[in-house]
Copies of this chain bind each other. A is one copy, B any other.
Amino acid sequence: MDIVIALFDRLTALDAIGPYEVLSRIPGARVQFAGKSRGPIATDNRFLTLMVDTPLSEIERADLLLWPGGFGTRALERDEEVLDWTRRIHTTTTKTTSVCTGSLVLGAAGLLRGLEATTHWAVLPRLAEFGARPVSRRVVPQGKVVTSAGVSSGIDMALQLVAELVSEERAQAIQLALEYDPEPPFQAGSPQKAPAAVREKVREAIVQRLS
């Protein structure tokens, strides 16, 4: 299975690495990290550097395409090279997927029109700009297009994808290998659960950086 994960300047690292850790454990999986040019890219917090191993121009197909999110997607929404590439690869995929604001790239490429879709909760209404129907769920499968919510949701999406594309047993084995039995210390992981004061501060900080 050929898995292509797109990387870009100001990516959120966990958006890519959560699903990577799951999907790369599919037997026979080959994972490529694709970007505008080969070499280092800086993630959103500017401390971590990830390596692009394959330029977009050298990738012609994928079984599974994943667009992670991060503040850098704002620029990509207007990047015709990236949007053309995304549309072209989408015609070859079994699954076209996103984490967090990666769905805004899929939207800008015109791939979410008429579909239900999700993204980071703080910018969820923006999906309507692309003709999608924003829904507040963690993972939103719509045929071959699967979008997921903010950052950490990519782990849940990837496990669902393994169950569908390979088997439930394989998904369980990967979940166990990653000891993914989460114990979040607070009930604060969604805007519905978090204290209102916390929610408004986080919303403001994120919306400001994505406008």
Contact = CB atoms under 8 A, between A and B. Distances in A.
A59 B150 CA distance: 34
Contact of A181 (B120, B138, B163): B138
Nearest to A139: B183
- Give the copy number: 2
Contact of A199 (B149, B176, B202): B176
A184 B179 CA distance: 11
Interface residues of A, number: 67
Given A47-B33, A51-B40, A185-B171, A179 B153 contact: yes
A47 B31 contact: yes
A187 to B, nearest CB: 9
Given A45-B24, A45-B25, A48-B20, A178 B156 contact: no
What 6 pairs across the A-B complex have the smallest Cβ distances? A150-B179, A181-B189, A172-B188, A31-B47, A14-B21, A49-B51
